[in-house]
Structure 1
Amino acid sequence: MTHSSSSAAAVIAPAAERAEPEAKKRRDIIDGARRVFFDKGFDGASMDEIARAGSVSKATIYVYFDSKEDLFQALVEADRRQSAERLWEIDDSDPDVASLLHRIGVSFMTMMVRPDHIRMVRMVMGVAEKFPAVGRTFFETGPCYGGRRLADLLARQTELGHLAVEDCEMAAYQFFNLCQGNIVKGLLFGGDTQPVEEKIERTVSSGVKVFLAAYGTKPAA
């Protein structure tokens, strides 16, 4: 190894060593913020409380985030990313398209009805008018990202001859709406209790049947 390459390695190693603790501290702040925001709401949450919950100083929070809005937006991004990773652990070329769509639908709805997700949606709706960037972030990293990913899957299934879809993005949103039925709205507005698994299964199964009646290449069972 040359002197220059060994010097470069010496610089990179400490930088990498610093990066992991810094990433952990940022995660600790976001985790603390999640607990405070869910407990107090956006307006009721203070940076002092968030600092205590994250076991950091308030000054440390401002090293990573410019404001409470910026921190809340980072929380939204982190939660949407985690949800997306769980939702898309699938094989997009699976020939059993009905089973594939059913798994996606149940996974999607299991995420959508989680109490912390319902609280997050309510908070985002409450702050979106004052902080439009937060609303846009939630929309782009949630519904739009999910729609694009499902559209890609539908395009792949159409290419394989398992579906016949012309506008895959439109069909993707149709599918998600079919899977929701009236379940999520009922939870958002406090009109329903937490749905049992059988209700989700029944709603998703019905949605898959309707979707395949419109876009399937085989007669619906």
Structure 2
Amino acid sequence: MNAPSQVIKQGRKWDQVLDGARTVFLRDGYEGASVDDIVREAGVSKATLYSYFPDKRLLFLEVAKIECRAQSDAAAARIEASGDVRDVLKDAATRMVGFFMSDVGMQVYRIVVGESQRFPEVGREFYNSGPAMVRDLLIRFLTREVEEGKLWIDDVELAADQFPELCKAGLHLQMVLGLRDGFTQAEIDRVVDGAVEMFLCQYGRPRG
């Protein structure tokens, strides 16, 4: 695998390649997506695709980063709109669970973990494109709620790290290990509601 720094982010067909790849990856998954299918969907030649992305994994990671940014932007719009703390946290939890349990979310997690030791850039780029942005959003939101007296948090950064982990309880590890290939909506709602309730139990009231 070539280092991520070798991806050339220029050329008039860059967006065309990414749009085609996104369609194929979301439809067929990483393993099921072939380069032939991607170039056909994108309407470009293999030479054009390889001039941007010499490795299918690099192309998939770029698509995944775009998906992460889209999720982060959607979360930012919801959080910036403010509203009831419980509603905002539940919406954020639902979005996070939806992404990390999606085919794209699971596939990119496995690839990033598998490649990060050889190419630390992969992990850094993925983290900065999604998880770090969500963490920063949560920090800003929680800080604002603390200042307004709606939450009582001594360590906002720690709380922002804790919340996503609560949202993974009983779901993420089983998916990563292949013990389950999916969960019912009732099972997901149980985890989301539990994460919000536990978080607010700790930080939603003054501590004497």
Same fold (TM over 0.5): yes
Give the TM-score band, short-chain normalised: 0.7 to 0.9
User: Is 1:111 aligned with 2:99?
Assistant: yes
Matched, 1:216 2:204: yes
Write the letter of the residue equivalent to 1:28: Q
The answer for the alignment partner of 1:162 in structure 2 is 150
Which of 67, 83, 102 is residue 54 of structure 2 equivalent to? 67
CA distance in 1 between partners of 2:190 and 2:31 (Å): 35
Among 111, 134, 145, the alignment partner of 2:122 is: 134
Distance 1:71 1:116 in 2: 13
> Structure 2 length normalisation: TM-score?
0.78
Correspondence for 2:78 among 74, 81, 90: 90
The higher relative CO (CA closer than 8 Å, separation ≥ 6) is in 2
Alpha carbons of structure 1 residues 104 and 112: separation in structure 2 relative to 1, 3 Å: same
How far apart in 2 are the matches of 1:159 and 1:75? Answer: 37
Q: Evaluate the alpha carbon distance shift between residue 33 and residue 123 of structure 1 in structure 2; reply closer, same or farther with a 3 A threshold.
A: farther
Structure 2 residue 26 is matched with structure 1 residue 40: no
Using the TM superposition, give the Cα deviation of residue 29 of structure 1 relative to its aligned residue in structure 2, in angstroms. 0.9
Cα distance, 1:76 vs structure 2: 3.1
TM-score (structure 1 length as normaliser): 0.74
Post-superposition shift, 1:134?
A: 1.5
Q: Structure 2: which 5+ runs fail to align?
A: 1-10
What is the deviation of 1:115? 2.0
Decide which of 57, 63, 70 is 2:45's aligned counterpart. 57
Q: Number of matched residues? A: 193
Contact persistence 1:29–1:54 (CA under 8 A): yes
What is the RMSD computed on CA atoms of the aligned residues? 2.8
Contact 2:53 2:59 in 1 (8 A): yes
Which runs of 4 or more aligned residues in structure 1 lie more than 6 Å from their structure 2 counterparts after TM superposition? Answer: none
The share of aligned pairs that are identical, in percent, is 28
Which deviates the most, 175-184 or 53-62? 53-62
Q: CA deviation at 1:27?
A: 2.6
